[in-house]
Amino acid sequence: MRVAAIDCGTNSIRLLIADVIEDEEGQTRLLDVSRQMRIVRLGQGVDATGNFVPEALERTFTAVDEYAALIGKHGAQHVRFVATSATRDAGNRNEFMEGVRTRLGVTPEVIEGSEEAALSFAGAVSVRPPADTENVLVVDLGGGSTEFVVGTSDGVRAAISMDMGCVRYAERFLTDDPPTAEQIAAAEAEANRQIDTVLQTVPLHEVDRVVGVAGTITTVTAHVLDLHSYQPEKIDGSELPIGVIEAAASEFLGFSRRRREQLPYMHPGRVDVIAAGALIYRTILLRMAELTGNRVRTAVASEHDILDGIALGLARQ
C-alpha cells in the first residue's frame, strides 16, 4: 500500500509519500518514496490578529498544488491532511480548509493537541522503540506549539500541547536583531512558566531518554555537527550532550539575521525564527536535566516525526 501524509503547521507544510511494508518480525514499517518540506509561514500574524493573512494562505495553497501533483504522480492510494496549531487558532480557518479541499480532494483534519502528541510519539519512536522499562519524552517543537509526550513500549502515558513555538515566540518576544538580554529573559521566563504547567500533566521527572523532532531541533543539531549542508542522514539519531546543545542554542541567540542566513544548513524560512526555537529547546533540556537529577544528560534528534505517525496510522486503518 502506498500512502501520503501531509502535516501543515504554523511555519511549514510537509509531505511524506511512503510504501507500507512488513519487516521480518511482522512490524509495520515505512519505505520512503518522497519527503518534501516547504516553509510557508501559515501562522504569520495569527498570534496577534487571530486570522490567516492572504499572503500566508497564498503561499500555503501554492505548496498544496505542488503536493497534489506529486501525490498523483506517485499514485498514493490513501491521503491524510493534518493541520495543527495555527489552524486551531485562526478565525478564518474555513477559507483555508476549503482551499485545500478544492486542490487536494481531501478534507483537512484540524486535530487537537492530544492527537498531535500521540502521532508525534508514534513517528519519533518508530525507528528506535522504547525499551521495556524506559520512559521516553518526545519533544515536537513547532511554529505555534510544542508537544510534550511521555510514553513507553506500551504507548503514550501522558501528553500535552503548549502554545510555545518558534514563530509565536519570535513574534512575541525576540523582536530585535539580535535579541536583547531583556527579550531573552522574558522568553525564558515564559517558557519555564509553561513547563511548570506541563509538569501538572506529564511526569517529566520520570523520563529516561529525550527525543526531539521538527526543524528547530534538527537545525540546532546540524549546527553542532558543523555540517556543510542540511544532511538528514547525519542528523537522524544524533545523540548530543545537553551542554553542547545549550551552547549551540546560545550561539543562535547571539547571531544577527545576516549571520544566520550564511549558515549552509539553514533553510531560508527558518532564519527569522531559529533563535526563538533554540531558546525554547535549550530551556526544555535544562529543565529536564534538573528534574531528573541529571539522569537525562543527552538528547536525540530524529527526522521521524508526526508525518511518520500519520502515515503509520493510515496503514493501520
Q: So what's the pLDDT on residue 128?
A: 82
Residues 99 and 134 in one domain: no
- The answer, yes or no, to whether residue 300 has pLDDT greater than 80, is yes
Q: So what's the pLDDT on residue 183?
A: 97
Residues 96 and 143 in one domain: no
Q: How far is CA 216 from the centre of its chain?
A: 7
Residues 226 and 272 in one domain: yes
Could you tell me the end-to-end alpha-carbon distance of the chain, in angstroms, rounded to an integer? 12
Report which of 105, 109, 107, 31 is spatially closest to residue 68, judged by C-alpha positions.
105
Q: Please check whether residue 77 is in contact with residue 5, taking contact to mean a CB–CB distance below 8 angstroms.
A: no
Segment 286-306 shows an average pLDDT of 94
Would you say residue 310 lies in a domain? no
* Other CB atoms within 10 A of residue 112 CB: 10
Residues 151 and 99 in one domain: no
Read off the pLDDT of residues 243-254 as tens digits, 9 standing for 90 and up. Answer: 999 999 999 999
Residues 37 and 158 in one domain: no
Residues 286 and 153 in one domain: yes
Residues 106 and 134 in one domain: no
Would you say residue 118 lies in a domain? no
Residues 52 and 81 in one domain: yes
Q: What is the C-alpha to C-alpha distance for residues 117 and 121, in angstroms, rounded to an integer? A: 6
Q: What is the C-alpha to C-alpha distance for residues 168 and 156, in angstroms, rounded to an integer? A: 27
Read off the pLDDT of residues 234-291 as tens digits, 9 standing for 90 and up. Answer: 999 999 999 999 999 999 999 999 999 999 999 998 999 999 999 999 999 999 999 9
Assign residue 29 the CATH number of its domain.
3.30.420.40
The total of structural domains in the chain comes to 2
If pLDDT is split at 50, 70 and 90, which confidence band does 315 have? confident
Report which of 211, 195, 202 is spatially closest to residue 296, judged by C-alpha positions.
211
Considering the chain, what is the average pLDDT of its residues?
Answer: 91
Read off the pLDDT of residues 120-167 as tens digits, 9 standing for 90 and up. Answer: 888 888 778 888 889 999 999 988 889 899 999 888 899 998 989 999
CA 308 vs CA 126, 162, 249: distances in Å: 8, 21, 27
Copy the grid coordinates of residue 135.
520512559
Q: Which of 84, 110, 136 is the last residue of a domain?
A: 110
pTM: 0.82
Write the DSSP symbol of residue 205. Answer: G
CA 73 vs CA 33, 69, 161: distances in Å: 11, 6, 35
Residues 134 and 102 in one domain: no
Dihedrals phi, psi of 109, to nearest 5 degrees:
-105, 115
Would you say residue 317 lies in a domain? no
Read off the pLDDT of residues 5-17 as tens digits, 9 standing for 90 and up. Answer: 999 988 889 999 9
Residues 143 and 229 in one domain: yes
Assign residue 202 the CATH number of its domain.
3.30.420.150
Residues 80 and 218 in one domain: no
Query: Within the chain, where are the H helices?
Result: 46-49, 54-74, 85-89, 93-104, 113-124, 166-172, 181-199, 215-225, 232-235, 242-254, 257-261, 274-291, 306-316
Q: So what's the pLDDT on residue 25?
A: 67
- The answer, yes or no, to whether residue 35 has pLDDT greater than 70, is yes
Copy the grid coordinates of residue 193.
512558566
Residues 87 and 193 in one domain: no
225 is in which domain, residue-wise? 127-299
Would you say residue 305 lies in a domain? no
Q: Please check whether residue 176 is in contact with residue 183, taking contact to mean a CB–CB distance below 8 angstroms.
A: yes
Residues 6+ apart with CB under 8 A from 46: 10, 52, 86, 89, 90, 144
